[in-house]
A and B are shown apart, each in its own frame.
Chain A
């Protein structure tokens, strides 16, 4: 069974600085999808970025980018120019192409220091 591990329960970063959130996963599949979701206090999960495993190029979305290391099964999220609105829980997630459900990690709570 696939698993997703986020080893940093909490992180803090100064406003305007850069922070990297770590994620590792375990799978025997060669093709899959990886995601980072943001969950603010409103509880609504918001997709931040997604990566298809067959694509070697790392995905980017404005200030958000990933470092996808397929061999190491690592999928970290980098947030540049951190803003107060980035404060939230961040979840790394995995989905198999043979399945429809998403498997989430336990999350990292990100604090932005003014």
Chain B
């Protein structure tokens, strides 16, 4: 695709439900990031993949959050037993290589509302 694609665009979940958020990076992009953006805040880092390897998951807020990228392309962020504090926009970003000098391309995010 022409850009980073995220689905669904909106997700409403009842507290306690499990959700899965999908990110399709630009084809060939090696690096992939997930960020969480609470209302009125800046994005906060969750996790980083280089190809299929999850190199940094220090930002995942709890063990209810899990991310994978099994074939080094599409990534899924899974949140188990959702809580109200999980309500946020989840942004995905990708780049050709390690983002030392590479531009990051962002998707339009998934807005998660937990009721």
Contact = CB atoms under 8 A, between A and B. Distances in A.
Interface of A: 4, 42-47, 91, 93, 95, 97, 100-107
Contacts of B45: 101-103
Contacts of B98: 100
A45 B48 contact: no
A107 B44 CA distance: 12
Contacts of B41: 106-107
8 nearest A-B residue pairs (beta carbon):
A104-B42, A45-B106, A101-B45, A43-B109, A44-B108, A43-B108, A106-B42, A104-B43
B42 A105 contact: yes
A62 B93 CA distance: 25
A100 B42 contact: no
B100 interface: yes
Given A91-B42, A91-B43, A106-B42, A45 B99 contact: no
A97 B108 CA distance: 26
Nearest to A4: B42
Interface string B72-115: 00000000000000000101010000111001101111010000
Contacts of B20: none
B12 interface: no
Nearest to B47: A101
A48 to B, nearest CB: 11
Interface in B30-88: 31, 33, 40-45, 48, 55-56, 59
B89 to A, nearest CB: 6
17 contacts: A4-B42, A43-B91, A44-B109, A45-B106, A46-B106, A91-B42, A91-B43, A93-B42, A100-B48, A100-B56, A100-B98, A101-B48, A101-B56, A102-B33, A104-B42, A104-B44, A107-B41
